Structure 1
Amino acid sequence: MKIGIVVNNLDTTGGYQKLVLRMYQELTKRGYEAIIYTLSLNRERCYPDIIKDVNIIALSEGTVKKSSKFEHVIKTIFSKVNGIIKMRSLARLMASDLNGLILHDEPSLHLLPFYKSNEKESKVVWMLNNQLSYDFLDTKSWLTEHFAGNRSVKSIIAKLVTLTPDFINHKIISKRTAYVDHFAVYDSFNRNLVQQRVKRNAALVYAGADLQWFEELSHDRVYGKKEVYTILSVGVIFPHRRYEDLLYAVSSLIERGIIVQLNIVGAQDKSPTYFKMLLGIREQLKIDKYVNFLDYVSDQELKKLYKHADVFAFVNNGFTWGISVFEAVAAGLPVVITNNIGAADIIENEVDGCVINPCQPKEIANAIEQLFSSPEKNAAICRSARSKVNDLLTWRAYTQRILSLVGAERDISK
């Protein structure tokens, strides 16, 4: 069987990029012919050790030329409309005999009207790696969301300028779901969201994680006696990551006399305005020497960061699954997460980790302080989390759950 996998980009190191590549590997292990289709590919920045032997067809490959300020403004205004045009071009490059097609993000939906497999039983599965956007709200609610948030003159002008192209995308994208045979989600929150906004059922599938790769980093950590504790957070820098909450939490901990070092690992070029804001907050709080932003690190550097960390924090405001959370669990780290991400379906508060409300820096600081001051409880939490994760989150099990939706479970033993 031949299966196509569509993803908007493979030009950075992130959770859903890893998921796509691991799924490809699992499919080929089972004897499937798999092909990944993407708009943007950079083999040097996107898990170079994994991606080197992967069959990928990309609309563009290599380092993207830096845009001028004017070009950046134009691209921002018409980004969604331009995305539709690019997906149409990508559709023309796709094999005509795919037995199944697995989409991994919303932009990939725009490809569907322009592609049809010659195989009659071919199925389309949309794997929601992120929370449904507000494009799937009714138009009145969409307009409210479009103008929500920052009320500065500059922000309002930007929202007015992007109103028309964004509205076009809003009206079109909901219609694209008619081409989808099955929806797959990571957590119950998104399953309910699909039912509410799209009026369709969604299958709950838990993703995998590189558990074995991180298990070798696990060791007995010492708490209660350290002069400096290390906090680690990993994820591409986007506004929904709420890294500002971590910065305020670090400031709070230092005020309490708990000295910490925060390492934030994630690509910084995907949301440059937000990253600039984070640098401003770090300077304002005078915590520059306590907070490191690391753009791109090698696998060996990443291993060192996990090995020397004392706690892992992933405090997004929704919109994500949290693959790095489970990798941290495998590495023997206690985790602090927010209650509206996918990982919260598995990590139970004070049993497998600390689960807090989003956008609450004080709660983050309290949770971290509690972990540092309770070594015995900390160890029990880590043991419980590892046991649960090892049972649920293998790449083989995840791929099998997806294949059952494609209708290819008969080949699962290969």
Structure 2
Amino acid sequence: MNVAIIVRRLNVKGGTQRQALNLAQELRRRGHAVTLYTFLLSPADCYPELLEGLKVVALGTYPSSGVLSDFTENRAARMLAGAIDHKTDILNPHDQVAYKVAAYFKKRVRVIPSVWMMNDVPTRLRAEERLKEAKPDTVIPWYKRLMHRLLDWYDRKVFIAGQDVILALDERDRGWAEDEFGKQAHVIRSGVSYEQFPYRRRVSARTPPRLLMAGIFFPHRRFEDGIEAVELLRGQGIPAELTIAGDTGSDREYAQKIKKLISERGLEEVVRLAGKVSDEELVRMYREHDIFLFPNHLQSWGLAVFEAMSSGVPVVVSQTAGAAEVLADRDTALIVPPKSPSAIAAAVAVLVQDPALFAHMSEGGRAFVESRMSWSRFTDDMEKFFLMASKKHE
């Protein structure tokens, strides 16, 4: 089978890039012909080891944000669609914008099956809701709301209607997709490169307990909840320390808010912002920390959760993170309400004070990832959806 995997950018690191590249490598090992299509490519800034041996076609340009960004984005999508091999059997767009490329190929070149790995619902309506969740005092002018709804309608009619199969990483986003698009959607669980995150057996948290959070800086990460939890823990006599790893340049306003909070609470000596880290540094951080915090709100999945579990680090996860759907409270994770520093602090205190539970979650987390979260299983499921889409065209 000749598969075109379409990814908006391969010049950055992220869950979408890991997912698409691991799928490409697995499909290639199974004898499929795979080509990746992207707007921007920089192996050194992405995952050079995952790109090795893969055929990549890059447009070399991507429109900048601005008033006309939707129109220039559509133009770029048409150009990339024109670069796709006409003998392609399956289109597999990943995440945002890539589904537009697939739609243009089907309209202008050949009508073939398209399986969209949606990840997050890309509508502007959902973006508004997430913005209001992060910043409740946000006021969006009526004319912008109207424009967003018109653009969402256009996207549904022109680009999304032609997707044969829509895939989400969690049940919440699956439901949202069906509501937004009026089409059936399916859930597929992502994989983890657990061999890259070696397991270290742990029987208890160290003193002081070292907490870790990781992710590109965006408001839905809720780093502030982890910082406030540290303050609460220290007030209870548990001298917790926190490291936050992630690129602060993605949302400088939010990063500044986090830095200000650390300063206001007088936590500069115990909360460290590590900035953007390499894969090797991230592996070391998992090894050197005791508990991983993931208070992310309305996050579609949460790859970092399973990387931490693979490393043997017990995890505290928000109920509104997609990862929570597959985890069991007090077994593979401690699951807490969203936006609740007190609940996070209580969960950390339990793990610190109950070595038996700590050791059980450390060992069970790795076993869960090995048995349920492989890229091989993800590829098995994706091939089934390829077959489902192909049957619609028979």
Give yes or no for TM over 0.5. yes
| Mean Cα deviation higher: 401-410 or 14-23 | 401-410
Aligned to 1:85: 75
The runs of 5 or more residues in structure 1 that have no matched partner are: 65-70
From the superposition, tell whether residues 115 and 108 of structure 1 become closer, same or farther in structure 2 (CA, over 3 Å).
Answer: same
What is the deviation of 1:189?
1.9
The answer to whether residue 377 in structure 2 is matched with residue 377 in structure 1 is: no
Match of 1:220 among 190, 202, 206: 202
In 2, the alpha carbon distance for the partners of 1:326 and 1:143 equals 29
Q: Deviations over 1:275-331 (max 9, x none)?
A: 222222222222122222233322322221011110111111113211111111111
Q: Deviations over 1:334-377 (max 9, x none)?
A: 00111122211211111211111111111111111111111101
From the superposition, tell whether residues 159 and 252 of structure 1 become closer, same or farther in structure 2 (CA, over 3 Å).
Answer: farther
Match of 1:261 among 238, 241, 246: 241
Match of 2:230 among 250, 271, 274: 250
From the superposition, tell whether residues 168 and 37 of structure 1 become closer, same or farther in structure 2 (CA, over 3 Å).
Answer: farther
**1:143-222 to 2 correspondences below 5 Å:** 150=135, 156=139, 166-175=148-157, 176-214=159-197, 216-222=198-204
In 1, the alpha carbon distance for the partners of 2:130 and 2:315 equals 32
Aligned to 2:213: 233
Aligned to 1:25: 25
In 2, the alpha carbon distance for the partners of 1:111 and 1:151 equals 34
Aligned to 1:328: 308
What is the deviation of 1:114?
1.9
Letter matched to residue 169 of structure 1: L
The answer to whether residue 326 in structure 2 is matched with residue 346 in structure 1 is: yes
The answer to whether residue 59 in structure 2 is matched with residue 59 in structure 1 is: yes
In 2, the alpha carbon distance for the partners of 1:339 and 1:7 equals 29
Identity of aligned residues (%): 24
Instruction: Please tell me whether the aligned partners of residues 11 and 41 of structure 2 are also in contact (alpha carbons under 8 angstroms).
Output: yes
| Mean Cα deviation higher: 164-173 or 193-202 | 164-173
Letter matched to residue 256 of structure 1: Q
In 2, the alpha carbon distance for the partners of 1:327 and 1:254 equals 27
In 2, the alpha carbon distance for the partners of 1:295 and 1:10 equals 21
In 2, the alpha carbon distance for the partners of 1:336 and 1:184 equals 26
Match of 2:116 among 120, 126, 133: 126
Give the TM-score, by structure 1 length.
0.84
The runs of 5 or more residues in structure 2 that have no matched partner are: none
Letter matched to residue 14 of structure 1: G
Aligned length: 388
Give the TM-score, by structure 2 length.
0.88
What is the deviation of 1:159?
5.3
Instruction: Please tell me whether the aligned partners of residues 245 and 360 of structure 1 are also in contact (alpha carbons under 8 angstroms).
Output: yes
In 1, the alpha carbon distance for the partners of 2:211 and 2:67 equals 37
The answer to whether residue 46 in structure 2 is matched with residue 35 in structure 1 is: no
Q: Secondary structure of 2:35's partner?
A: strand
In 1, the alpha carbon distance for the partners of 2:136 and 2:326 equals 37
After superposition, the CA RMSD in angstroms is: 2.9
